[in-house]
Amino acid sequence: MSKKHHHHTDGLTEQEEQDLPVDAQPQTPQEEPAPQPDYYEKYVRLSADFENFRKRTEREKAALLAYGKKDFVEKLLPAYEVMLRQQAHMQKEEADETGSAQMQSLRAGLNMVLGELKKAFAAERIEKLDVVGKPYDPQTSEAIALVPAPADKDGQVLEEVQMGFSMEGKILRPARVVVGKAEEEAKKQEAETK
Tens place of pLDDT per residue across the chain (194 aa): 444 444 444 555 666 656 655 555 555 556 666 666 678 888 888 888 888 888 888 888 877 777 777 888 888 888 888 888 888 888 777 766 666 777 778 888 888 999 999 999 999 899 999 999 999 999 999 999 999 999 899 999 999 999 999 998 899 999 999 999 987 655 666 566 66
Q: Which domain holds residue 76?
A: 43-124
Considering the domain architecture, whether residues 90 and 158 belong to the same structural domain is answered as no
Identify residue 143 by its one-letter amino acid code. A
Question: If 0-12 CB within 10 Å is exposed, 13-18 middle and 19+ buried, where does residue 68 land?
Answer: exposed
Number of other residues whose CB lies within 10 A of the CB of residue 74? 13
- The model carries a pTM of 0.56
Considering the domain architecture, whether residues 90 and 156 belong to the same structural domain is answered as no
Considering the domain architecture, whether residues 47 and 120 belong to the same structural domain is answered as yes
Considering the domain architecture, whether residues 47 and 105 belong to the same structural domain is answered as yes
Considering the domain architecture, whether residues 48 and 119 belong to the same structural domain is answered as yes
Half-sphere CA count of 152, side-chain side, radius 13 A = 1
Considering the domain architecture, whether residues 63 and 120 belong to the same structural domain is answered as yes
DSSP state of 150: -
Measure the CA–CA gap between 168 and 65, rounded to whole angstroms. Answer: 14
